[in-house]
Amino acid sequence: MHIYLDQNIWIDLAKIHHGKDTSDSSVILLERLNDKVRTGDIVFPLSNAHYIETSTISNEGRRNRLGEVMFKYSKGVTLASYKSIVINEIERALKSNFPIIKPRYFQLFGKGVQHAYGEKLNVDIPEFMERAILTGEQVGGKKIGGFHKTEHNEDFKDHLTKVSKMCSTVPKGQWQDTLDAMALADIEEPLSEVLEYWEIEFELFMALGKERISQILNFMPSRALEIHLNKQVLKNPNYNPTSNDLMDWGGVALASQYCDIIIGEKHIYNMLLRDKFKTKAKLHRRLSDLEQYLC
């Protein structure tokens, strides 16, 4: 069972692990979690969003304690990168229209930071370095794990602001077409890579027509998710985007399409539940909600 924890939930787990939360219910929960993790019945995968958010913690002690818990309970298991997931989705979605496409091998859950970022190096990263990337510990006198760039967060915040304002500039009857176009534009790079790999002209893809392309987008879990979330923003002219929305959408929201359980904060939890949207994962808000799965 793959359970994805939002960053704040990892912090809650770290508090219990390090004795900051000593309530009877929390201690019992930790004992049962340890048993399930030890037997492999439960896996807590990390995503690149976790690496980024952890690396931005300025307090070295706090980062070290959190990173230690994340490494211990994830056992180094990571969710594939966003781009790797999207490429696989595209190939699976297009194979019925273009029989030449035979979806390539894809590993959803793998090991380490390379898998989370979709990067392939010529050498394996040793375990002590994988741990240091999360904890911020020094290796050879140098601190590693510098994934703290946040300019994309602000760009995404601006994007959501524009989406929210569209409710007053785009007629409601055109919302779906607009959202489909945005979802397609967002995957322009991986789509081009797939078409080029299988030697399919982009014009042939576009010749499928608006209706068929819309069906393809909704067949792709990440695109169906993107359209749903953008629709929630579009329906709310008072939506107040934050610089952390990119981490929520690319982390816990994406994981809701691929993991068995996610535990996320109220904001993204509520957005996922609206309009009877279907997620693969069961949605929860608190670490204590895991109790029902630990018997």
Polymer length in residues for the chain: 295
Q: 4: which strand partners? A: 262
Q: Closest Cα partner for 261 from 112, 45, 111, 73?
A: 45
Q: Each residue's pLDDT tens digit in the chain (295 positions)?
A: 999 999 999 999 999 999 999 999 999 999 999 999 999 999 999 999 999 899 888 888 999 999 999 999 999 999 999 999 999 999 999 999 999 999 999 999 999 999 999 987 667 888 888 999 999 887 766 666 555 555 666 777 777 777 777 777 888 888 889 899 999 999 999 999 999 999 999 999 999 999 999 999 999 999 999 999 989 988 887 777 776 777 777 888 999 999 999 999 888 889 899 999 999 999 999 999 999 998 8
* Single-letter amino acid, residue 289: D
Q: 246: which strand partners? A: none
For the chain, how many structural domains are there in total?
Answer: 1
Alpha carbon distance 287, 251 (integer Å): 17
Alpha carbon distance 209, 126 (integer Å): 48
Q: What is the pTM of this model?
A: 0.90
Decide if 134 contacts 57 (C-beta within 8 A). no
What is the DSSP code (8-state) at residue 105?
P
Alpha carbon distance 3, 250 (integer Å): 16
Alpha carbon distance 54, 66 (integer Å): 8
- Domain of residue 162: give its range: 3-293
* C-alpha distances in Å from residue 15, one per residue of 19, 26, 69, 89, 212: 6, 10, 9, 37, 49
